[in-house]
Amino acid sequence: MKNIILILMVSFLGFVAQAQEKKNKNAKYVTEVNGNCEQCQKRIQKAAFSVLGVKSANWNIETHQLSLILNEEKCSLFDVKKAITRVGHDTDEIKTTKEDYDNLHSCCKYERL
């Protein structure tokens, strides 16, 4: 009898642990990304879509806000931010390298803080 109860408890704990790890397949995020123009917009959105799991990416030129929908089972917001910094744009959390920033077209160079 004790063995049956022990087996049931272990099974229950296994199901509970598995349920807690479930990630959102349509997670929505809004984050700040620096840029200036339509060229920046295309570059930022292309970089976001290069990350496996990104379903939607829309960067607003006026507000500098990137709206994302992503599958958290395949990627994270941090993965998207890393991809964007590799093409020369700072995010609210990660800054691009000087080399990547210097590779931007002159109209795309924003004021860095």
Phi, psi of 66 (to 5 degrees): -100, 120
* Structure confidence at residue 91 (pLDDT): 96
Q: What are phi and psi of 56, to 5 degrees?
A: -150, 140
Instruction: State the pTM of this model.
Output: 0.79
**Ordered mean pLDDT values, 10 residues apiece, the chain (113 residues):** 64 59 88 97 98 98 97 96 97 96 94 85
pLDDT at 82: 98
No. of helices (H) and no. of strands (E), the chain: 4, 3
pLDDT at 4: 67
Using the CB atoms, write b or e for 18-33: b if 16+ within 10 Å.
eeeeeeeeebeeebeb
May I ask the CATH architecture of the domain 34-106? Answer: 2-Layer Sandwich (3.30)
